Amino acid sequence: MMRLRRSHLICCAASKEKMAAHLSYGRVNLNILREAARKELREFLDKCAGSKAIVWDEYLTGPFGLIAQYSLLKEHEVEKMFTLKNGRLPPADVKNIIFFVRPRLELMDIIADNITSEDRRHSSRDFHILFVPRRSMLCEQRLKEQGVLASFINIDEYILDLIPYDGDLLSMEYESAFRECYLENDQTSLYHTAKGLMTLQALYGTIPQIYGKGECARLVANMMLRMKREFAGSQNQILPVFDTLLLLDRNVDLLTPLATQLTYEGLIDEIYGISNGYVKLPPEKFAQKKQGEGSKDLPTEPKKLQLNSAEELYAEIRDKNFNAVGAALSKKAKIISAAFEERHNAKTVGEIKQFVSQLPHMQAARSSLANHTSIAELIKDITTSEAFFDNLTVEQEFMTGVDTDKVNTYIEDCIAQKDPLIKILRLVCMQSVCNNGLKHKVMDYYKREILQTYGYEHILTLNNLEKAGLLKPQTGSRNNYPTIRKTLKLWMEDANEQNPNDISYVYSGYSPLSIRLTQILARPGWRSIEEVLKMLPGPHFEERQQLPSGLHKKRQQGENRTTLVFFLGGVTYAEIAALRFLSQVEDSGMEYVIATTKLINGTTWIKSLMDRPESPTQ
Amino acid sequence: MIKSKVDEEDYWHSSKFKAFTFDDEDDELSRLKESRQAVNNIRRLVEEDDDEDDVERVSWSGEPVGSISWSVKETAASSQRADREPAFPKISTDTPSISRSQSGYSLSSLFKGKPKVGNFQTFSDALTDSSVRLYAPELRKPKSEYKDYVSDWSPEETVQRLQQGKAVSLERFRTLQDKLLLLDHAIAAHDGNVITAVLIYLKRTLCKEVLFRELESRQTALRHFIHYLSETQNQRLLLELHRALGKAEDAALLQYKEHLSITDENKRRDFLKNCLSLPFSAEDLAHVQDHYTLLERQIIIEVTDRQAECGGKVEIFQKFPRKALILNMPLITTLYYCCFYHYAEPEGTFSSPLNIRQTFKISEKQYFVTALAARAKLKAWLDVDALFASRNWLGFTRKKSPLSFQRVVDILQKNSAPTHVLQDYVALVDDGELRLTLAQKHKCHDIVISTYRDMKDRQLLLGYRGKVVRGSAEERKIDDLLSNPQIRWKN
Q: What is the pLDDT of residue B248?
A: 83
Return the DSSP state at A202: H
Which has the closest alpha carbon to A143: A133, A161, A131? A131
Q: What is the pLDDT of residue A123?
A: 63
Q: Note the pLDDT tens digit of each residue in A258-301.
A: 999 999 999 999 999 999 889 999 988 886 654 444 455 566 78
Residues B245 and B216: their CA atoms lie apart, in Å, by 7
A515: closest CA of chain B, how far (Å): 20
Express each pLDDT in A424-445 by its tens digit. Answer: 999 999 999 999 999 999 999 9
B325, closest residue in chain A (CA to CA): A617
Q: Give the HSE-up count for residue A164: Cα atoms under 13 Å, Cβ half-sphere.
A: 27
Candidates B1, B79, B288; nearest CB to A91: B79
Task: Identify whether the C-beta of residue A577 lies closer than 8 Å to the C-beta of residue A263.
Answer: yes
- Closest to A159 in 3D by CA, of A172, A176, A175, A143: A172
What is the pLDDT at residue B193? 79
A186, B227: Cβ pair inside 8 Å?
yes
Q: Tell me which H or E stretch contains A101.
A: strand A96-101
Task: Find, in chain A, the residue whose alpha carbon is nearest to that of B250.
Answer: A463
Residue B55's Cβ-count burial label (10 Å; 0-12, 13-18, 19+) is: buried
pLDDT at A299: 65
Would you tell me which residues 525-564 of chain A have a C-beta closer than 8 angstroms to some C-beta of chain B?
Answer: none
ipTM of the complex: 0.84
When pLDDT is cut at 50, 70 and 90, the band that residue B469 belongs to is confident
Residue B340 pLDDT grade (very low, low, confident, very high; cuts 50, 70, 90) = very high
CB nearest A184 (choices: B31, B131, B227): B227
Angle between the A409-416 and A386-399 helix axes, to the nearest 10 degrees? Answer: 140
Residue A219 is predicted with a pLDDT of 93
Return the number of other C-beta atoms located less than 10 Å from residue B133's C-beta.
13
Instruction: List Cα–Cα distances, A193 to A162, A173, A188, A189, B195, in angstroms.
Output: 8, 11, 9, 6, 17
* Smallest CA–CA distance from B56 into chain A, residue: A13
CB contact under 8 A, A330 and B291: no
Kindly state the percentage of chain B with pLDDT values over 90: 28
Cα gap A87→A527, rounded to integer Å? 61
* pLDDT at residue B52, rounded to an integer: 40
Q: How far apart are CA B252 and CA B343, in angstroms?
A: 37
Q: Which chain B residues contact residue A82 at CB under 8 A?
A: 72, 75-76, 79
Among the ranges A141-155, A200-214, B94-108, B476-490, which has the highest mean pLDDT value?
A: A200-214
Whether A185 and chain B come into contact, CB under 8 Å, resolves to yes
State the helix-helix crossing angle for A421-434 and A602-609, rounded to 10 degrees.
100
- Tell me the β-bridge partners of B58: B64
Q: What pLDDT is stored for residue A250 in this prediction? A: 97
- Most A CBs within 10 A among B7, B69, B158, B276, hence the mutation to make, goes to B69
Q: Is-contact A244 A209, C-beta < 8 A?
A: yes
Q: Which residues of chain A have a CB within 8 Å of the CB of B253?
A: 459-460, 463
Determine the residue among A188, A241, A454, A461 to mutate to test chain B binding: the one whose Cβ has the most chain B Cβ atoms within 10 Å: A188
Phi, psi (rounded to 5 degrees) for B151: -110, -15
Enumerate the residues of chain A whose CB falls inside 8 A of the CB of residue B98: 16-17, 71-72, 75
CB contacts, 8 Å: B220 with chain A: 185, 187
Task: Give chain B positions within 8 Å (CB) of A617.
Answer: 328-330
Q: Name which of B68, B102, B200 is nearest A35 (Cβ-Cβ).
A: B102
A397 to chain B, any CB pair closer than 8 A? The answer is: yes
Residues of A in Cβ contact (< 8 Å) with B365:
412, 416
| CB spacing of A337 vs B38 below 8 angstroms | yes
Q: Give the number of A-B residue pairs with CB atoms closer than 8 Å.
A: 365
Min mean pLDDT across A466-475, A483-492, B119-128, B201-210 is at: B119-128
Residues of B in contact with A387 (CB under 8 A): 1
Q: Distance of CA B487 to CAs B367, B452, B459, B480, B484, Å?
A: 45, 12, 13, 11, 6
List the single residue in A188, A413, A616 with the smallest CB-CB distance to B193.
A188
Largest Cα span, chain B: 113
**Lowest mean pLDDT across A237-241, B92-96, B189-193:** B92-96
Chain B residues touching residue A615 (CB < 8 angstroms): 260
B31 contacts in A (CB within 8 Å)? 326-327, 329-330
Contacts of A340 in chain B (CB under 8 A): 42, 45-46
Residue A610's Cα: distance from chain center in Å? 20
Nearest-by-CA chain A residue for B330 = A455
Contacts of A73 in chain B (CB under 8 A): 68, 71
Q: How would residue B458 be classed by pLDDT, with cut points 50, 70 and 90?
A: confident
Best A9, A11, A38, A39 residue to mutate vs chain B (most B CBs within 10 Å): A39
Residues of chain A with confidence (pLDDT) below 50: 1-18, 290-294, 613-618
Long-range contacts of B20-28 (CB under 8 A, 24+ apart): B20/A262, B20/A323, B20/A383, B20/A392, B20/A497, B20/A508, B20/A509, B22/A323, B22/A384, B28/A323, B28/A326, B28/A327
- Quote the pLDDT of residue A91: 82
Average pLDDT of the residues in B250-279? 92
Are A303 and B62 a contacting pair at CB < 8 A? yes
All residues of chain A having their beta carbon less than 8 Å from the beta carbon of residue B91 are 74-75
Across the interface, do A396 and B259 touch by the CB < 8 Å criterion?
Answer: no
CA distance B350 to chain A (A): 17
Mean per-residue pLDDT over chain B, rounded = 76
- CA-closest candidate to residue A205, choices A245, A172, A233: A245
Neighbour order of strands in the sheet with A209-213: A163-166, A169-171, A590-596, A561-568, A244-249, A209-213, A540-544
What is the distance in angstroms between the Cα of B89 and the nearest Cα belonging to chain A? Answer: 7
A530 to chain B, minimum CA–CA distance in Å? Answer: 29
For chain B, helix (H) and strand (E) counts, in that order, are: 25, 2
Contact B95 A241 (CB under 8 A): no
Percent of chain B with pLDDT over 70: 70
State residue B37's pLDDT score: 81
Q: What are phi and psi of A179, to 5 degrees?
A: -60, -45
**Could you tell me which residues come within 8 angstroms of residue A50 by beta carbon, excluding any fewer than 6 positions away?**
A77, A94, A95, A96
**DSSP string of A519-565?**
HHHHTT-GGGGHHHHHHSSS-EEEEE----TT-S--PPTTPPEEEEE
C-alpha B400 chain-centroid distance: 35
Bridge pairing between strands A303-306 and A278-281 = antiparallel
Considering just the CA atoms, what is the radius of gyration of chain B in Å? 37
- Asked whether the predicted pLDDT for residue B359 surpasses 80, the reply is yes
Closest chain A CA to residue B41: A337
- CB-CB under 8 Å, B105 with A36: yes
Q: Flag whether residue A307 sits within 8 Å of chain B, measured between CB atoms.
A: no
Residue numbers in A near B370 (CB within 8 A): 416
Give me the residues paired with residue A562 across strands.
Answer: A591
> Does residue B111 or residue B311 have the better pLDDT?
B311
Quick check: A463 contacting B, CB < 8 Å?
Answer: yes
Q: State the nearest Cα–Cα gap between A584 and chain B, in angstroms.
A: 23
> What secondary structure does DSSP assign to B88-143, as a single string?
S----TTSPPPPGGGG---HHHHHH----HHHHHHHHHHHT-GGGSS--GGGSPPG
Please report residues of A whose CB lies closer than 8 A to that of B80: 90
Q: CB B32 to CB A326 under 8 A? A: yes
Cβ contacts of A616 on chain B, cutoff 8 Å: 328
Q: Do A416 and B366 touch (CB under 8 A)?
A: yes
- Amino acid letter for position B206: L
> How many CB atoms sit inside 10 A of residue B268's CB?
21
Residue with the bigger pLDDT between B319 and B190: it is B319
Cis peptide before B402 (omega within 30 of 0): no
